[in-house]
Amino acid sequence: DAGITQSPRHKVTETGTPVTLRCHQTENHRYMYWYRQDPGHGLRLIHYSYGVKDTDKGEVSDGYSVSRSKTEDFLLTLESATSSQTSVYFCAISEKGQGATEAFFGQGTRLTVV
């Protein structure tokens, strides 16, 4: 498996609180992605990064922000968690854009907002 670590692996938080999920890679890949996975929806892209401090929105970016201050770390922040953000979150990395090369996924973070 590629060197991708997501933390925490599980989290329960209360509605209205901010939450930050971390993705750490040791592969020195340029591209990093955050997806959420919900039953019946597959994987939906939240945000992605194409370099340090370079990020762009995906298809479900509302309520989420990201930051990438170092190549190896990509942070996803839920500014004020809502129950609709209960989901499994996956980080992925790719050497080139995902349109050019395969993506490697982390183990996932199960987030429950109560």
Partner 1 sequence: GQQVMQIPQYQHVQEGEDFTTYCNSSTTLSNIQWYKQRPGGHPVFLIQLVKSGEVKKQKRLTFQFGEAKKNSSLHITATQTTDVGTYFCAGPLYNFNKFYFGSGTKLNVKP
Sorted by sequence, the CB contacts under 8 Å of residue 53 that are 6+ apart come out as 68, 69
Selected from 33, 64, 74, 89, the binder of partner 1 by CB under 8 A is 33
30: left (phi over 0), alpha (psi -120 to 50) or beta: alpha
* 62 is a contact residue toward partner 1 (CB under 8 A): no
Residue among 56 and 79 whose Cβ is closer to partner 1: 56
Cis peptide bond prior to 8, omega within 30° of 0: yes
CB 98 within 8 A of CB 29: no
Task: Select from 11-19, 62-70, 72-80, 91-99 the region that touches partner 1 (CB under 8 A).
Answer: 91-99
- Contact with partner 1 (CB under 8 A): which of 93, 103, 111, 113? 103
Select the span of 18-26, 34-42, 64-72, 79-87 touching partner 1 (CB under 8 A): 34-42
- Residue 53 contacts partner 1 per CB under 8 A: no
DSSP string spanning 57-94? E-SS-TTEEEEEEETTEEEEEESS--GGG-EEEEEEEE
Residue 3 engages partner 1 in binding (rule: CB under 8 A): no
Q: Which residues contact partner 1 by CB under 8 A? A: 31, 33, 35, 40-45, 48, 50, 56, 58-59, 90, 92, 97-100, 102-108
